[in-house]
Every structure is written in structure tokens, then in C-alpha cells.
Amino acid sequence: MTRRLPKKDVVIVGLGWTGSIMALELAKAGLDVVAIERGPWRDTATDFNITTAPDELRYAIRQEMFLRPKQETLTMRNRLDQTALPIRKFGSFLPPNGVGGGGMHWNGQTWRFLPDDFRIRTHLTERYGEAFLPENNFIQDWPMSYDELEPYYDRFEKTLGISGQAGNLKGQIQPGGNPFEGVRSDHYPTPPMQQGYSQSLFTKAATDMGLHPFPRPSANLSQAYTNPYGVRMAPCTYCGFCEWFGCANYSKSSPQTCVLPALMRHSNFEARTDSEVTKVNLSRDGKRATGVTFVDSEQVEWEQPADLVLICAFAFFNVRLMLMSGIGKPYDPNTAEGVVGRNYAYQVGAGAVGHFGPGYNFNPFAGAGSLGAALDDFNSDNFDHGPHGFVGGASLTNAYTNGRPISYHPVPPGTPGWGAQWKRAVHETYNSTTNVGAQGSVMAYRDAYLDLDPTYKDPLGRPLMRMTFDYHPNEQKMAKFMMERSGEIIRRMGAKQVSTNALRVPYTVVPYQTTHNTGGAVIGNDPTTSALNRYGQSWDVPNVFVTGASSFPQNAGYNPTGTVGALCYWTLDAIKNQFLKSDAPLVQL
């Protein structure tokens, strides 16, 4: 027996970055807003106490803040002719759970995609010809340009207080910044972080090689900052407990440190935690959402009616909720028709580890999730791909996110995996090892997609989502190229011994790789190839908007959060300035 709650103006599914920003802005606009979050409430004061937050065993090894497979998991296969099996322990990626979402336990690397990334198909076709694109690709242009999105990148960076060095300010190339970046309307809100010794070697080596290194834009703030919501943050202490941890110092931008203190002052906002939305309810003709159904921690089912439904969960779960609610046509790889689940993408990781030997003290424990120097010379289409036979690219970075005791003990190749020799090697090399890593794009393909699994079900009896994904030859070539470039740089930095990290093929769900899962409910200008119009509004159910990386048509060589945030503010403006007035589709065909 479903109990029915009083109607709200807006119901938000998931209280992470986009859900909290949407909630705050719409509550400020005077609407009655409820956010329904599957996981628990978490705030810095209560949950990330400085005396207990830096607990590697609890948070990084036992993964306290992540989704448990028991709550929800996925099945995975590489190819269409395989039977997908359920992930019983998350490995390759770690979906978030709880208020703050991934924005709470992320590293804080906050990038803008490059102008070419937004018109990627047009650009690549113009430069190399259609035939140069990989087989079976679903590469598609974004429905807006970088310039259109720029003000929203700026807003998101100001909400977070991002620390960085502008590279292209109003068309003027800035020394020390990224010369490849799109035109910025303003500086970063705070100056870049203090870089370490290793980054100084990287910067010098890369500059000597004719490359263009710069400090990576960071949500670990270089100095105290008050954002436009009046929320105050403290400078980062370089403690090295960012990724997989909540920040105890109010230094890492998160919904907790940037949005929730302002949001929770609004009496017209309500958060329902430990409550999982199971369905977006539609009118009889399927053309209008009437609200959502959710199940609370006592397994009691509730209906929350609302005029506007915002799906703001993690990428996978946005797609699954749409599939289970019948919003949009499910994608079918056999006919290449349908849109929900289409264009799932991921990222490639490759790189080189350099062992420098005695005399080098890199102090990796003085790290931060987004501390580091990077270069974009091999990202996107910043270099001529003609001779290399692949498209896409990667940002190359020298960084220490951490030097934590349980997980970080790099040893030179040939060292035994345990015992006295291993211990000696850890002792000798802990402080004299550094790396150059590449984080690369993944294009969209006809056979990389998400759908509902025909076999496996969750505890509520609903089908799990199935992922069908592997790295295509294009991405494998690109990863190899980036591994070679990383090795060249680290040798130039002075490494005595270099070991390389190659892309693991076929793709496997262990070990950890990245939680930059994208696509499945993409934005576009063509309803036959996108689930959402350019404003993130469902083509089929116009009072449903969807945020998050699920809307990326394909993935770029950067962390997604900057673009997720920019798209959130872009959608928000469309809702506030257009939808609330018209209550209609914002794109007419």
C-alpha cells in the first residue's frame, strides 16, 4: 500500500552536486523542493571529524561511503555475445551513496572540456575526413558550444572556489596557464595550489621538451574562500586524504562545504535520506511526470507527487531510473534505434612510473586530490592525429593525490611482492618515486551501452542494469601512445628506472580504474540519437530534466565534474527562465 505525500513543486532524485545546487537555486526562487537521497545524511561536523576522517582502512579500504552492491549493483559484459554477470564487489568504479554523492569523496580535479570537444564530430570530419573516425563509432557533437557553456563553467567554479591558473583569459594567453583551454571570462576564484618538488621537475622537463605544463585546476583550495552562497572554505593542508574521504578541514569543495549550509537554511526545502526512488510516475498517456515513488529504510513505499522531476543521481542510476520508468525509448544495439542507454563511455588510464633513486625526496604524503601539474599537448585534437591512426586524447599529469600507508608503496620492477626484499624496496623508494599519468577520452560506439539485465534482479525484484563495454582499438592505440609520451617525460625528469602502466584489455571491473562513467541519457539536438534535448530536458516527458555525466555524448580526456557542474547551471537557467514560465518542451522540432 503506497502512502501518498502532499504534492511538491519540485522533487529531486539524489542529493549530490547537481541535486544540491538545483535544490538551493529553486528553493531561493520560492519553490517547494524535496530531495530524495538513497544514502544517509552526512555533514562535515558530524561525519568528517578531523580526528577520525583520515582513516585509510575505514574509508579507502573498506570503502565506508560508497554504494554497497547489496543496495544496487550492475551486471557487466564486454561483448554482445556474452552473458553479463553481476558485480559483487565494486572495483573498476565506485558509485557514491549518501548526501554529497561523489562530490563528497572525489579528488577535486575540476576541468573545462575544450572547445573542440563540443563540436568533435564536425571538427574531426573537417580535419581528417569521415573515414578517419573509428569503426562503429557514435561520436556526436554536443548540442551547445563551449562559448555557450562558458558562463556556466564560470559559475560552477565560483561556487566551488576552484584554485588554478588561467591560460586563456578573454583571448589573451596567460603565462603559466594552459594555452589550449577555451576562452575564460574570468580568472579562477583562487590561485593555484603550491606545487611540490616532483611537479617542478615535471614542469621543467616538459617545458624543455616544448610542451606546455600548468598547475592542475583544483577543488582543494589554495586559500580561504567565501562563495556566492556565502559559504566559507578553509585553505587545504595537503594532508592527502581527499579521494574516497570526506574533507575534515572544509578545504575540498563538496556539496557539504559549498552548498548544503546555505540550502539547509531554506524552510521550503526538505531532504529525505535513506530513501530510494524506484520510479518516476507518469500520466496515463506517458507524456507527463506526476512525481516519484520511493521506498524508505523501513521498506515502506511512498508516492511523492510533484510538478517537476529532476533526476540528479549518479550516471548509471539516472539511466536505470529512466529505463524502469518508461521515459524515452530504450536503446537496442541490433537496430541501433532507441536512445536510453545509448553512448555509454568510460575513460582510459595509462602512464609511467619513474624510480629516481637516492637523493630525491618527493614527500608524497604531502598530497592533495588535485595537486599536480598537467599538460594538454596530447589532449583532444591539440596535436595532429593523422600519423597516429586514432582520435581523442588525454591530459598528462604529474601528481600525488596521496602517499597513504596502506595503499601507496611503489617499488621498482622486479621487486618481490612481499617479504624482506619488498619491505626494503618500499623503504628505499617511497620517497623517490613519481609518475606521469594519462587520463584519456573514450568515444561512443554502437556496441557500448546500458540496458536492463534479463536475468539478475535487485532486492526489490527489479532488473539490474547491464553494462556492455570494452575498449575499442581506437582507445587502445591512444592509450599506448599516451603511455609512451608519459615515459618520455619521466625519463627527461631524471628517472633512473621506468615502469609503464598499460591499458588493461579487455576491460574488467577489477581493479579500480576510474568512476568517470558517462553517457546513457545523452543530450543532443536529434531525438533519434539523444534522450535529452540541449537543456537536459527529456524529449518525451518535458517535466523531467536529467543532470550528470549520463548526458555526455562521449567522454573527454578530463575528469567530468567541471562539465557536470556547468551543465547543471545551464539546465537550471533553462528551468528558471523558460520552463517555469512555459511548462513546455524547450526545443520544438
Partner 1 sequence: MRRLGLAALLLLGTATLARADLDSYVAVEQGRYLAVAGDCAACHASPKGPFAGGRAIETPFGNINAANLTPDRDTGLGRWSAEDFWHALHDGHSVTDGHLYPAFPYNYYTRVTRTDSDALFAFLRSVEPVRNPVDRNTLPWPFSMRVSMLGWNALEFTPGVFQPDPQRSTEFNRGAYLVEGLGHCGACHTPMNAIGGPKQAQYLQGNSIQNWIAPNLTNDAQAGLGTWSVDDIVQYLQTGRNLHAAAAGPMGEVVEISTSKMTVPDLRAIATYLKERGAAGPAVPAPLPATDAHMDAGAALYTDNCSACHARDGKGVADLFPALAGAPSVRQDDPTTTIRVIITGAQVAATAGAPTSPAMPSFGWHLSDAQIADVVTYLRNTWGNAAPAVAATQVSSVRSAVAVPGK
Catalytic residues: 516
As measured in angstroms, the least distance from the Cβ of 189 to partner 1 is 16
Does 58 interact with partner 1 (rule: CB under 8 A)? no
Judged by beta carbon, residue 247 or residue 345, the one nearer partner 1 is: 247
Residue 154 near residue 228 (C-beta atoms within 8 A): no
Residue 504, all three cell numbers:
588493461
Beta-carbon neighbour count of residue 417 at 10 Å?
Answer: 7
Interacting span for partner 1 (CB under 8 A) from 255-263, 286-294, 371-379, 390-398: 255-263
Of the candidate residues 1, 6, 51, 129, the single one contacting partner 1 (CB under 8 A)? 51
- Count residues binding partner 1 (CB under 8 A): 26
Judged by beta carbon, residue 31 or residue 452, the one nearer partner 1 is: 31
Judged by beta carbon, residue 48 or residue 539, the one nearer partner 1 is: 48
Judged by beta carbon, residue 110 or residue 249, the one nearer partner 1 is: 249
Lookup result for grid cell 585546476: 217
Does 44 interact with partner 1 (rule: CB under 8 A)? yes
Does 94 interact with partner 1 (rule: CB under 8 A)? no
As measured in angstroms, the least distance from the Cβ of 267 to partner 1 is 12
Up-side HSE of residue 119: CA atoms within 13 Å toward CB? 14
Beta-carbon neighbour count of residue 317 at 10 Å?
Answer: 25
As measured in angstroms, the least distance from the Cβ of 261 to partner 1 is 4
Residues 209-238 that bind partner 1 (CB under 8 A): 224, 226, 229-235, 237
Beta-carbon neighbour count of residue 344 at 10 Å?
Answer: 31
Of the candidate residues 5, 29, 169, 262, the single one contacting partner 1 (CB under 8 A)? 262
Does 249 interact with partner 1 (rule: CB under 8 A)? yes
Of the candidate residues 10, 65, 239, 572, the single one contacting partner 1 (CB under 8 A)? 239
Does 257 interact with partner 1 (rule: CB under 8 A)? yes
Judged by beta carbon, residue 35 or residue 444, the one nearer partner 1 is: 35
What pairing do the DSSP bridges indicate for beta strands 544-546 and 301-311? Answer: parallel
Residue 174 near residue 146 (C-beta atoms within 8 A): no
Residue 563 near residue 14 (C-beta atoms within 8 A): no
- Residues 246 and 267: their CA atoms lie apart, in Å, by 26
Q: Can you say whether the dihedral through the CA atoms of 266, 267, 273, 277 is positive or negative?
A: negative
Please, what is the Cα angle at 467 between 381 and 136, to 5 degrees?
45
180 has which bridge partners?
A: none
- φ, ψ at 220 (rounded to 5°): -95, 110
- Which of 261, 297, 273, 285 minimizes the C-alpha distance to 12? 273
Judged by beta carbon, residue 136 or residue 237, the one nearer partner 1 is: 237
- Residues 571 and 579: their CA atoms lie apart, in Å, by 10
Here's the x/- map for partner 1, 334-373, by CB under 8 A: it reads as: ----------------------------------------
Residue 75, all three cell numbers:
551486471
Question: Residue 309, SS3?
Answer: strand
Judged by beta carbon, residue 44 or residue 293, the one nearer partner 1 is: 44
* Cα distances (angstroms) measured from residue 380 to each of 100, 118, 396: 30, 10, 12
As measured in angstroms, the least distance from the Cβ of 248 to partner 1 is 8
Of the candidate residues 142, 146, 250, 344, the single one contacting partner 1 (CB under 8 A)? 250
As measured in angstroms, the least distance from the Cβ of 62 to partner 1 is 21
- Which of 155, 283, 293 minimizes the C-alpha distance to 228? 155
Tally of residues, the chain: 589
Judged by beta carbon, residue 252 or residue 534, the one nearer partner 1 is: 252
As measured in angstroms, the least distance from the Cβ of 221 to partner 1 is 11
Question: Which one-letter amino acid corresponds to residue 84?
Answer: A
As measured in angstroms, the least distance from the Cβ of 369 to partner 1 is 16
Strands (DSSP E) along 241-393, which ranges? 269-272, 276-282, 289-295, 301-311, 348-355, 373-375
Interacting span for partner 1 (CB under 8 A) from 47-55, 336-344, 511-519, 574-582: 47-55
Of the candidate residues 1, 6, 45, 299, the single one contacting partner 1 (CB under 8 A)? 45
As measured in angstroms, the least distance from the Cβ of 306 to partner 1 is 23
**Residues binding partner 1 (CB under 8 A):** 44-46, 49-52, 224, 226, 229-235, 237, 239, 248-250, 257, 261-262, 264-265
